[in-house]
Chains A and B, each alone.
Chain A
Amino acid sequence: MKIAIFPPNSLILADLVERRGHEPLVIMKEIRKKVKDAEIDSPPMNITEEDPIKGLKYAAIEVPSGVRGRMSIFGPMIDEADAAIIMDDAPFGFGCIGCARTNELSVFYLRKRGIPTLELTYPTTREETLELVNKINTFLDQLEDENG
């Protein structure tokens, strides 16, 4: 199954999903497509003319262009997902997802999809981390049981 993870660049989430035999939908794979695009001079600083159009599907024209640009990458990933794992309160400056409004919009769309979703909080202690890992594994096993 394709699992959307949030933050979409999280090492822990991507690794745990992969260990259970699922495919994590990570931002790195999307960025790679941009990096390899000969049309773009300095990815991901620049975008193609198609990107704002893609972004418009997820964010209205009044929404800041940065949010729209980010949504053009996050949006298709959300559409593709069969299930989602959301980790709230990830440390500030979590890689390329430093835009709070895009994060809110992405989480909103993930919830709106109505797919099985697991919501967690970013762990800070040993106990919290153990609980987080066990919860993720239980959630992924349940998905397997439900879908065979």
Chain B
Amino acid sequence: MSEKYDPKQNEAADKSNENKAEDNTSTRMIILSPTANISQTELVQRLHMLEMPVTIKSTCYGAMVHGEKEVVEEVIEKARQWDTYNIFTKDRGFPPGDPRRCRGHRGAAREGYHQLEKEFDLLCHVGEALKKPQKVKIDKVEKITVDDFKKIVKHKASKIKDEGEK
């Protein structure tokens, strides 16, 4: 006997499937600063020693951890303790080894790698600042007055005029 189609029931089933399909995974990159006290191999070994249900990928900058959000957060918290001032982490949109981004498939550095390379140079200084925090005053940016703005415009205009005459 065939079952009757019930749109309401079907809708409810669709919604529950949607919730199931909702992504609860997260990928985090663990980046070691140039002055880190642990090596990339040691980091990966320690991550494995945690025996947590996550995928660990060894990379040139450190490691990548993929798994359930809560578990990944726990792993990151533990990893930070190994070298607080030299271990940095950030989220990654694509899971590890995703063919759309993976360097191995693309044949060139993946998007975002160049930015990571630039920031990597500064990480040792960031770690230093975190180690020895100093109190600084933050200057509030204020709007300039109309008179000041007129002066700037006049100054700039005269400069342009001088350059034009030359």
Residue on B nearest A91 in the bound complex, by CB: B118
Indicate if the CB atoms of A129 and B129 lie closer than 8 Å.
Answer: yes
Known: A135-B136, A138-B135. A96 touches B112 (CB 8 A): yes
A30-38, A52-60, A62-70 - the one binding chain B: A30-38
Residue of B89, B100, B130 touching A42 (CB-CB under 8 A): B100
Complexed CA–CA distance, A30 and B126 (Å) = 26
Complexed CA–CA distance, A42 and B92 (Å) = 17
Complexed CA–CA distance, A129 and B120 (Å) = 12
Q: B interface, by DSSP: helix, strand, loop or mixed?
A: mixed
Instruction: Name, among A33, A35, A43, A142, the residue most crowded by chain B CB atoms within 10 Å (CB to CB).
Output: A35
Residue on A nearest B127 in the bound complex, by CB: A133
Indicate if the CB atoms of A93 and B115 lie closer than 8 Å.
Answer: yes
Chain B, interface size: which category? 35 or more
Residue of A14, A30, A43 touching B90 (CB-CB under 8 A): A14
Indicate if the CB atoms of B136 and A138 lie closer than 8 Å.
Answer: yes
Q: How far is the CB of A96 from chain B (nearest CB, A)?
A: 6
Chain B contacts for A132, CB-based, 8 A: 129
Known: A12-B126, A119-B141, A129-B126. A95 touches B91 (CB 8 A): no
Nearest 5 CB-CB pairings of A with B: A31-B93, A133-B129, A129-B125, A28-B91, A95-B112
B-binding residues in A (CB < 8 A): 7, 9-12, 14-16, 18-19, 26-36, 38, 42-43, 91, 93-96, 118-119, 123, 126, 129-135, 137-139, 142
